[in-house]
Amino acid sequence: SISMLVYAAVQIESLPFKVVCINNVDRPNEVPLNLWPEVGQPYTVVKMDKLKTSGGIGFKLAELNTDGCFPFTYFVAERFAIIPSV
């Protein structure tokens, strides 16, 4: 699946690493607009985990604290593209 490919690619990187938002459609009502990623903006992934709801991979971002937005405390990894480190 795409999630496992993302997870495998991420394992090559060490935390934290940079990503850029490529898809921000379908924001859940539980997540306020000011905590939702903007397309084209870079973010820093500080934690990742398997999502219990979908089984995919989720990213926790340094710039957007969604701890109070349960159950939406991680962003689905497919919303982002990894920015290769140089």
Rounded to whole angstroms, how far apart are CA atoms 54 and 28? 14
Which pLDDT score is estimated for 53?
A: 79
d(CA 55, CA 67): 19
Please enumerate in sequence order all residues whose Cβ is within 8 A of that of 81, keeping only pairs 6 or more positions apart, or say none.
Answer: 19, 20, 22
Considering only the C-alpha atoms of the chain, give the largest distance between any 2 of them, rounded to a whole number of Å. 37
Task: Tell me the β-bridge partners of 58.
Answer: 49, 76
Q: What pTM, to 2 d.p., does this model score?
A: 0.83
Report pLDDT for 28.
94
* pLDDT at residue 24, as a whole number: 97
Tens digit of each residue's pLDDT (9 = 90 or more) over 6-41: 555 555 558 899 999 999 999 999 999 999 999 999
- Please check the confidence at residue 58 and state whether its pLDDT lies above 60: yes
Q: Could you give the CA distance from residue 25 to residue 39 in angstroms, rounded to a whole number?
A: 9
How many whole angstroms separate alpha carbon 39 and alpha carbon 45? Answer: 16
Average pLDDT of 65-74? 94
Q: What is the pLDDT of residue 55?
A: 85
| pLDDT value of position 11 | 56
